[in-house]
Homo-oligomer: A and B are copies of this chain.
Amino acid sequence: MKTGDVSELTLRRYPRYLHCLRKLKQSGLEYTSANELSRQLAVHETQIRKDLAITGLQGTPKIGHRITDMERAILTYLGWNKLRISFLVGVGNLGSAILGYDFYKETGIQIVAAFDTSEHKIGLAINDISIFGLDSFSKMAKRMKAQIGILTTPSEVAQKVTNLMVESGIKAIWNFTQHPLSVPSDVIVEDVNLYAGLAVLTRKLIAKE
């Protein structure tokens, strides 16, 4: 199945399921159901069943599912069961915050190096991730087969750094800048658009006014 068949909204729900499953497991449970997830997450049960079916999980309605089976199905479907090498460019406040997350544990995405142009930052490390000069990017990305580029630079240099990432074999760019990126058709861009979230938030505020 290609991603095109499944809506982004569906994909965006899976991490919430995983989060909930982990908490249920921690509370000592071995089995759970779409019904229980529905109660915990305020998502309709039918929706959850449908989402779980997409991952290939077989249902046993009476008993529910073994939690570890559910986790494995979702992780495999999202590709979070595999290591993916990731490089971050732009170690400002936002970049530093991103380096502080432990994405690897949950997603398999490991940030193995960070890059900046500032002499004051090169040679330092954040969360054990070393900061290199941007001129080392291409060689290191090719050698380590980096797949994912995390873009936390100022907007003004976003396209220039994107071009460098693409030339260096990066296959997906997680774009935290406001700049709309131009990339070849075989490169994925996932924009983190804070303004999109604010649009939802303020429109909901208006509806309550």
Interface residues of A (CB under 8 A from B): 2-4, 6, 8-9, 11-16, 19, 41, 77-80, 84, 92-94, 96-97, 100-101, 103, 106-109, 147-148, 171-172, 174, 178, 180, 186, 188, 190, 192-208
Contact = CB atoms under 8 A, between A and B. Distances in A.
Contacts of A16: 180, 193, 196
A88 to B, nearest CB: 13
A26 B75 CA distance: 45
Contacts of A107: 195, 198, 202
A101 B11 contact: no
Contacts of A196: 11-13, 15-16
Contacts of A94: 93-94, 97, 100
B78 A203 contact: yes
Nearest to A174: B201
Contact of A174 (B4, B108, B197): B197
Nearest to A197: B190
Nearest to A74: B199
B208 A188 contact: yes
Given A12-B199, A190-B201, A208-B188, A93 B101 contact: no
Contacts of A192: 194, 197
Nearest to A187: B208
Given A19-B195, A93-B94, A174-B198, 19 more contacts: A3-B206, A16-B180, A77-B203, A79-B205, A84-B202, A93-B100, A94-B94, A94-B97, A101-B194, A103-B194, A103-B195, A107-B198, A107-B202, A147-B205, A174-B201, A188-B204, A188-B205, A190-B197, A190-B198
